[in-house]
Structures are given as C-alpha cells and as structure tokens.
Structure 1
Amino acid sequence: MKYLLGLVWSCIVAQAAAQDFLTIPAGTYTVGAKHFPLNPLRTVQLPAFRISTTEITNAQFAAFVDATGYITDAERRHNAMVFEPGLKEFRWLEDSSAYWLFPNGISRGDVADKMDHPVTCISFTDAQAYCTWSGCRLPTLDEWEVAARAGSKTRYFWGEDRDSLSQYANVWLAHDHLVADTADGYMYTSPVAHFKPNPWGLYDVYGNVFEYCEGHTALDKPGSTSVHARGGSWWCSKNSCSSFNSVDIGTVHPRASFSNLGFRVVKL
C-alpha cells in the first residue's frame, strides 16, 4: 500500500489540490416527478451550497487513506460486489479481495493508472469518513437533484429523451451484460470530467458511478438504516437499471461496497 501510494504521490497532491466547487444559489426549486412515489413532484427551498464539480477520485481518496490510515468496510468485511461481463442482468460477484485500491478484485488489477477515475468499492460509512477528514459532507438528495437538473424540470437536464446521453455519461451501451461493452471507450469507470458537463458545469451527474447522498425518501420506513445514491453508473443501461437521470433514487445498505458506487461532496 505505502509503496503504491508513494508511486502516485505527485498525482495525489495535484488531484487533491484541483478540486473545484460550484455554488448553487439559494432558491425555490422543482424536484421529483409525477407518478413517482419514491420521489414525488414537489418544490423545495434550499439555502446556497457549494458542490464539487466532479466525483471524488482515487487520488483524493488515496490522500485520505495515506493521511489517516483509514481501513474501508470492504477491507474489513471482505464483501465487496464486483462485475465482469457474462453475468445475467442485475447479478454481481462477491469478491473478498476487492476494495477501493482493487475495485474489481485483485485479479482484475489496481487503480495505479486510474487515479483520475472516481473512487469505488467504498461504503456510505467510508464516504462519510472521507467527508469528516476533508471538511465536507455528502449532498442531500434534494441538493444533488437540484445541481444535476441545472435549472431544468425534465427527466434529463437536456429534455425527456435519452438521445444525448452518450455525450454526457459513461453508461453501458450494449443490449445486455453478457459481453464486454467498451463502445464509449470504457468498460468500467472513466476519468472524471471526461464527458461533457451539465449546463451548470457539473460532470458525471449521470453515469460513471452512483453517488451517495444524505437523507431519506418518501417511502423509507421510520428508523430505516438504508442509504441512497443517485445518477446511475457505468453498469446502467437502458435495459437494466436506467437510473442515469435526475429523478431515480437507488437504495443500499450503509456498509455495502460496490464497484459502481462513489460520491461527490458539498463544502462546509
């Protein structure tokens, strides 16, 4: 671990220092959608907040680990879920060797040449630990949606159709997951800010990785420990998941770790 972190230290410093934030002004915003019980159509009042323009990268998470010695849930619990082509829809593999440094398992390689990709194979609890160290927090469900919509009231920030998706998002373009899909240049994650930003300047709000958020949905039971993530991921396709939009909300256990789950942050 220390050897690898030493090899990429200059990259870590550069990436960590380069984190940009976008200020979302205070105001009344439209969120949710009709006939969508998990996220019903409504208006919300939000104070101004500053959200990172990109997802947190492997380089930034490596800086946190190197500074604190933090051990992720996947390292302790050995229960990370990874993917490889050939699996049926919505099937994942539990890989005891996988964690953020080897997000698809040791047999599939490390992130030494992917330090500008979003960190994955971390839990909600891990993301919160990073936030505490960095002086940030996770966006709320409403904050994330307002930032992703960029002033729009449609399912996608450009409208209702999916025709423009490949310009803005790293997603699975094949019909199914039985064979590898690299049509957009990547099978798994892509570098942050590789695709076009939304009109307000946020990258990867759709695709690349699901992003953890704080808060509960309208359907969460009292006392629920479930947590939520938004935006879809590299694994999502129009035939499976299809959550690469401004409306859908995913649910996961707070200590689960998947190779398509990451986060962006809001500055305190």
Structure 2
Amino acid sequence: MSGFLTYCLQRFTPVLLLLAGVNAVNGQSQRLVHVPAGDYALGRKGYINNPLRTVHTNGFDIAATELTNAEFEKFVQATGYVTDAERNKNALVFSPGLREFRWLEDSTASWRYPNGITRGGIENKMDHPVTTISYRDAIAYCDWAGVRLPTLDEWEIASRAGAATTYFWGDDMMPLSTYANVWHGRDHLQADSTDGYMYTAPVGSFKPNAWGLYDMYGNVFEYCEGRLPTDKPDSRSVHARGGSWWCSKNSCAFFNSVDIGRVKRGASFSNLGFRVVKK
C-alpha cells in the first residue's frame, strides 16, 4: 500500500498545489506548479544521453506555461535589452516549402518578428510563447526576473507528471494532437495548420498533463540547464527539450519525455523558447 500511496502523491499532489506565484524581484505574476520532493524514474534503457535512472529532487515550482511574448516584452521595456538576433541579425526561421531540417537565415527576424518581418509580427500573438531568442537572452530574462531555467532532470520530472512512459499519457503517440502543437504534415514542403496553427499557438491551447502543465510537448522547444554524457569538455552547446510546432513524427519527433536536443548558445530559432522555475 505504501508504494501505491507514493505513486498517488507523486502523480496527483502537484495538481492540488497549482498556485499563482508572484515574482519577488519584479512583481510578475506567473502560474506555478509545485513539484514535490521525492524520487523519480527518468530516462530510458539504452539511451546514452538519458539512461534509465532514479533521481531525487527536493521539490521546485515550475511555470505552468512557456514564457509569453507579453512577459518578455515587460523585460525589454524595463531594461532596454537587445537580443542576440537583433544584434547579430542571424536568426534562423521557417517558411513552408523547405526540405526537412532546412531553415532560412533572416536578418529581419527577432522575437518581435519570429519568422521575419515579411511573415508578420506578434501584435496579435502576445499570449504565444516568445521565440527567436538565444540561450543568453533567456538567461538575461531570468536574471532580471529572479527566476531560472529548469535543469534537464527537473524538466523531465515535470513533463512526466509521475509517469514512466515515453509520453505522460503512455507509450502510444496517437493522443498527441490533443496535448501538443506539432506539425502533422508528411513533410515541410506544404504548409500545415491541421490543428489550427502553422507556427506557435497561444500557451495553454492544448490539454495539460496530469500536473496541470501545458505545452510540455510541442509549441516550442524549451531551454534547460545541464550537460549530457556526450558533450565534449569544451562544448559551448546548450540543451532544449519537448519538441516544437515544427516537429513531426517524420522529422525531429522530440515531443516526448525522453529525447534531448542540442543547440549553440548564441543561436536563435523561431521554434525555441523557455519556461521558468522559481528560485
């Protein structure tokens, strides 16, 4: 019985602890989910970068959604911060018609114009996740806001919501469309808005996991802190998890709780953002 109670506490307690957390530094109101202390099974057998193991956490509070354009704009307005993409004019964006894993470098792209000026801005997308920002930009926001990025393990604990399967609902990918904004087309040569969105969707548009966390899969990749066993000692790469609106079952199917992506810390993609953890 004690094992069953432990399972129930790990799986359902965070739902009861959903709260409105107020940032002590800049007064930003963000919905947080408390993940209780405990031991959690992570990884998968045979995965070099994410082997099957049990990890312990002392508990943490993680944002229920990805950080939005509206929240990032508060930071920019308060500090005058200029992102890497705005300075370097080297953001990588997407437009239907590209072959798999091909992106366009667009000097006009930034968090205000995630896929370049010709593809529109964020005026009517303030509730969408902020994108086209680098790891350095994400850290700058966190330093200002008094929060931090989740570790690779924390992100996985939160995404699994007590489950030990590939997805937080099980091992069958079929229910994905109800939980995640992803690419449903066979390839990227033709536009795909099967689920109502070709690019990002407003945060919380799809069903949450059992702990009340939205968009853990799909919408945008999320920066995390941590290193992998295959990272070289002098590696400047960082990592992101969860997949994005660009990911499909045929290309980069990272919309799960196992896979871990790698990106250069100065890179800015229109399918990459973050959620925060309270310090």
Which residue of 1 is the match for residue 67 of structure 2? 56
Gaps of 5+ in 2: 1-26
Match of 2:48 in 1: 37
**Corresponding residue for residue 206 of structure 1:** 217
Report the CA distance between 1:223 and its aligned residue: 2.9
User: Which residue pairs with 1:144 in the alignment?
Assistant: 155
Count of residues in correspondence between the two structures: 253
Code of the residue aligned with 1:86 in structure 2: it is G
If the length of structure 2 is used for normalisation, what is the TM-score?
0.90
Q: 1:162 aligns with which of 167, 173, 193?
A: 173
1:80 aligns with 91
Cα distance, 1:38 vs. partner?
1.2
Question: Counterparts of 1:221 and 1:211 in 2: how far apart (Å)?
Answer: 22
Cα distance in 2 between the residues matched to 1:108 and 1:222 = 39
Deviation at 1:17, TM superposition (A): 4.8
Shift in Å, 1:217? 1.0
Q: Which one of 14, 24, 33 corresponds to residue 35 of structure 2? A: 24
Measure, in 1, the Cα distance between the counterparts of 2:92 and 2:234: 26
* Equivalent runs, 1:99-114 vs 2, <5 Å: 99-114=110-125
Matching of residue 134 in structure 1 with residue 141 in structure 2? no
Q: Which residue of 1 aligns with 2:82?
A: 71
Partners of 1:96 and 1:178 lie apart in 2 by 23
Distance in 2 between residues matched to 1:107 and 1:200, nearest whole Å: 39
Counterparts in 2 of 1:246-265, with a 5 A limit?
246-265=257-276
Q: Kindly provide the amino acid, as one letter, of the partner of residue 188 in structure 1.
A: Y
Partner residue of 2:230 out of 208, 219, 237? 219
Question: Deviations 1:110-166 (Å, cap 9, x if unpaired)?
Answer: 100000000000000000000011110000000000000000000000111101000
In the alignment, the residues of structure 2 paired with residue 239 and residue 18 of structure 1 have an alpha-carbon distance, to the nearest angstrom, of: 38
Q: Secondary structure at the match of 2:30?
A: coil
Partner AA of 2:212 in structure 1: G
2:102 maps to which residue?
91
Q: Are 1:184 and 2:229 an aligned pair? A: no
For residues 29 and 204 of structure 2, the distance between their equivalents in structure 1, rounded to whole angstroms, comes to: 12
In the TM superposition, residue 18 of structure 1 has moved relative to its aligned partner by: 4.5
**Structure 1: gaps (5+ residues):** 1-15
Q: Which residue of 2 aligns with 1:5?
A: none
- In 2, the alpha carbon distance for the partners of 1:161 and 1:255 equals 35
Computed over aligned residues only, the root mean square deviation of the Cα atoms, in angstroms, reads 0.9
Distance 1:121 1:172, change over 3 A: same
Aligned-residue identity in percent:
67
In 2, Cα distance between equivalents of 1:25 and 1:225: 32
Where do 4+ consecutive residues of structure 1 move more than 3 Å? none
Tell me how far apart the structure 1 counterparts of residues 266 and 235 of structure 2 sit (CA, whole Å).
14
The structural deviation recorded for 1:216 is 0.5
Please give the per-residue CA displacement for 1:203-244, whole angstroms capped at 9, x wherever unaligned.
000000000000101211223211000000000000000000
TM-score of the pair, normalised by structure 1: 0.93
The Cα offsets for residues 154-208 of structure 1, whole Å up to 9 and x where unpaired, read as 0000111101000000000011100000000000000000100000000000000
Q: 1:116 aligns with which of 123, 127, 131?
A: 127
Distance 1:130 1:263 in 2: 10
